């Protein structure tokens, strides 16, 4: 069987369910590819290949006995090294946690294991989920396969690079201001930040409790839906986990019909697309994507939300304050063990006043209310997935987000579901992306719109490497 490494999760799952592909065969193929390419792209921080083979054998044996647990049965997955894994070190790519070995799995990891997924290893991320790109931390940043001199994004960079290089079909990431969607956009893969509270944060490294989200990453939005269905659910040990929310059944929503979007009302957030810092190529990719959505039957109208920089400042103030509150004590003791960019970004938290934090939380409600008001007329909002192509690593400054907006931050502020969807390439061949966001707990609809766009634009499926 050829090109197993590029098959989407949904296709691999169908083969495994039909017993035309063994989990061990797939796992071995991906391990062989990782051993050939992994050192160059640096996306694995702690591979667990022996364990993966053991889990794949067990998955095959269970299927042979007639029990198939679902689409993730026997599926190789990688985890951003921010998810606790019992008996496997979890470092968040920091010397502060270099020897930390959790004694239990994160809730989302437990859900993956219950679905009989195969754990391939822990993936590189930028340090403490807010550093990078850096070569002076515990591990160097992952290499962008589209252009090695450019940033792969962060903080779930290892996951995005592993997907873009065909090392994995599925991964979990975390997202506090865009850390799933930003690297997904720069690497041309799919990333989904669920509604706040839908996926437990239990056992996930906390950067900023009120903004953190955990979610799926894959090469297609359909695959993200399959992963989301497995990991979503109430966790009584996590106070941010929502009790009583309907399961997203996102994959079923995609499978139910064709890719038509007749009657779906989409708002183009035109002041985000036109915001300072958004490149002409990113604007063009967004407008082209909206034209495709219209062709699919969606009713597209322009709307405006509050200033994108206002969302950015609100996100930065809350995230930086909460990160310093959480990690200040360890940071004060061992600041010199932290990479320079991470050190600067954490230290900024020492200067934010309590009144600024309180004001930012109040402002968050105001911005979320404005987003909700806009959503009364629409089923989804669309705007660029990133400001443009990945920047050159040499040009990235520690506080770039104080001078340019974080176009992913509004969905964290409002807690709404948000997909990053590949949307073509710029003149230099760098991936472009759009975001689709929706109402809280309407995750399935967001993924359906993203999936419809992807299936309508197969010409945009391109690979960085063979």
Active site residues: 80, 155, 179
For residues 317 and 419, which CB has a smaller minimum distance to another protein in the complex?
Answer: 317
For residues 189 and 242, which CB has a smaller minimum distance to another protein in the complex?
Answer: 242
For another protein, the binding residue among 101, 403, 428, 461 (CB under 8 A) is 403
> From the CB of 343, what's the least distance to another protein, in Å?
7
Structure tokens at 140: 């160097």
For another protein, the binding residue among 101, 291, 358, 465 (CB under 8 A) is 358
> From the CB of 214, what's the least distance to another protein, in Å?
14
For another protein, the binding residue among 101, 135, 350, 465 (CB under 8 A) is 350
CA 242 to chain centre: 20
**With CB under 8 A as the contact rule, which of the stretches 88-96, 148-156, 331-339, 443-451 interacts with another protein?**
331-339
> From the CB of 49, what's the least distance to another protein, in Å?
38
Letters for 197-236 (x = contact with another protein by CB under 8 A, - = none) are x------------x--------------------------
344 counts as binding another protein under rule CB under 8 A:
yes
- Picking from 123, 166, 151, 77, the residue whose alpha carbon sits closest to that of residue 387 is 151
| 298-316: burial string, b at 16+ Cβ within 10 Å, e else | bebeebebbebbbbbbbbb
> From the CB of 415, what's the least distance to another protein, in Å?
5
For another protein, the binding residue among 62, 234, 240, 249 (CB under 8 A) is 240
193 counts as binding another protein under rule CB under 8 A:
no
For residues 117 and 309, which CB has a smaller minimum distance to another protein in the complex?
Answer: 309
**Can you tell me whether residue 83 is helix, strand or coil?**
strand
**What part of residues 416-445 is at the interface with another protein (CB under 8 A)?**
440
- Picking from 223, 260, 298, the residue whose alpha carbon sits closest to that of residue 456 is 260
Report, in angstroms and rounded to the nearest whole number, the Rg of the chain calculated over CA atoms. 20
Measured between alpha carbons, how far is 282 from 443 in angstroms, rounded to an integer? 24
Kindly determine how many residues on this chain lie close enough to bind another protein according to the rule CB under 8 A: 43
**Phi and psi at residue 423, in whole multiples of 5°?**
-140, 35
For residues 202 and 424, which CB has a smaller minimum distance to another protein in the complex?
Answer: 202
**With CB under 8 A as the contact rule, which of the stretches 77-85, 162-170, 216-224, 357-365 interacts with another protein?**
357-365
135 counts as binding another protein under rule CB under 8 A:
no
For residues 6 and 399, which CB has a smaller minimum distance to another protein in the complex?
Answer: 399
CB 418 within 8 A of CB 439: no
Q: β-strands 299-303, 265-269: how paired?
A: parallel
Residue 451: exposure state from Cβ atoms within 10 A (0-12, 13-18, ≥19): buried
Letters for 361-380 (x = contact with another protein by CB under 8 A, - = none) are xxxxxx-xx--x--------
Using CA atoms, how far residue 135 sits from 126, 156, 180, 328, 338, in Å, is: 10, 16, 21, 23, 11
- Picking from 276, 198, 268, the residue whose alpha carbon sits closest to that of residue 434 is 268
Measured between alpha carbons, how far is 68 from 58 in angstroms, rounded to an integer? 12
| 26-38: burial string, b at 16+ Cβ within 10 Å, e else | bbbbbbebbeebb
> From the CB of 210, what's the least distance to another protein, in Å?
6
For residues 131 and 188, which CB has a smaller minimum distance to another protein in the complex?
Answer: 131
Residue 355: exposure state from Cβ atoms within 10 A (0-12, 13-18, ≥19): exposed
- The neighbouring-strand residues paired with 300 are 266
Site for another protein, rule CB under 8 A? 195-197, 210, 240, 242, 307, 309-310, 313-314, 316-317, 328, 332, 335-336, 340, 343-344, 347-348, 350-352, 356, 358-359, 361-366, 368-369, 372, 398-399, 402-403, 415, 440
């Amino acid at each position: 069987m050829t090109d197993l490494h590029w098959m989407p999760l949904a296709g691999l799952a169908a083969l495994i369910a039909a017993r035309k592909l063994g989990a061990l065969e797939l796992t071995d193929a991906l391990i062989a590819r990782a051993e050939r390419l992994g050192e160059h792209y640096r996306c694995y921080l702690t591979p667990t290949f022996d364990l993966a083979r053991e889990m794949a054998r067990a998955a095959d044996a269970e299927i042979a006995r007639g029990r198939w647990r679902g689409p993730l049965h026997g599926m190789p997955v990688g985890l951003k090294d921010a998810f606790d894994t019992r008996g496997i070190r979890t470092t968040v790519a920091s010397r502060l946690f270099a020897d930390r070995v959790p004694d239990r799995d994160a809730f989302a990891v437990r859900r993956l294991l219950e679905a009989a997924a195969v754990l391939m290893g822990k993936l590189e991320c930028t340090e403490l989920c807010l550093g990078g790109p850096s070569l002076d931390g515990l591990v160097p940043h992952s290499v962008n396969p589209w252009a090695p001199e450019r940033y792969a994004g962060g903080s779930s960079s290892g996951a995005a690079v592993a997907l873009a290089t065909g090392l994995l079909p599925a991964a979990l990431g975390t997202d506090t201001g865009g850390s799933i969607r930003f690297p997904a956009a720069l690497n041309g893969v799919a990333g989904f930040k669920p509604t706040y509270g839908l996926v437990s944060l239990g056992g996930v490294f906390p950067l900023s409790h009120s903004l953190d989200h955990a979610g799926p990453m894959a090469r297609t939005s359909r695959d993200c839906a399959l992963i989301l269905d497995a990991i979503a659910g109430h966790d009584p040990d996590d106070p941010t986990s929502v009790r009583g929310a309907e399961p997203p059944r996102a994959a079923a929503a995609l499978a139910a019909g064709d890719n038509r979007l007749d009657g779906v009302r989409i708002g183009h957030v035109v002041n985000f697309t036109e915001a300072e810092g958004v490149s002409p190529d990113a604007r063009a990719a967004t407008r082209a994507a909206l034209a495709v959505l219209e062709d699919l039957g969606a009713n597209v109208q322009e709307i405006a939300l509050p200033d994108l920089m206002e969302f950015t400042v609100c996100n930065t103030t809350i995230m930086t304050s909460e990160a310093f509150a959480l990690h200040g004590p360890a940071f004060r003791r061992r600041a010199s063990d932290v990479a320079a960019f991470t050190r600067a970004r954490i230290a900024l938290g020492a200067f934010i006043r309590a009144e600024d934090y309180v004001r930012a939380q109040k402002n968050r409600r105001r911005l979320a209310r404005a987003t909700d008001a806009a959503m009364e007329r629409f089923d989804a909002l669309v705007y660029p997935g990133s400001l443009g192509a990945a920047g050159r690593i040499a040009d990235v400054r520690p506080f770039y987000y104080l001078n340019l907006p974080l176009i992913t931050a509004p969905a964290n502020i409002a807690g709404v579901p948000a997909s990053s969807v590949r949307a073509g390439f710029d003149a230099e061949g760098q991936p472009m992306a759009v975001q689709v966001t929706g109402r809280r707990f309407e995750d399935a609809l967001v993924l359906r719109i993203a999936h419809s766009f992807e299936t309508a634009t197969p010409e945009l499926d391109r690979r960085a490497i063979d």
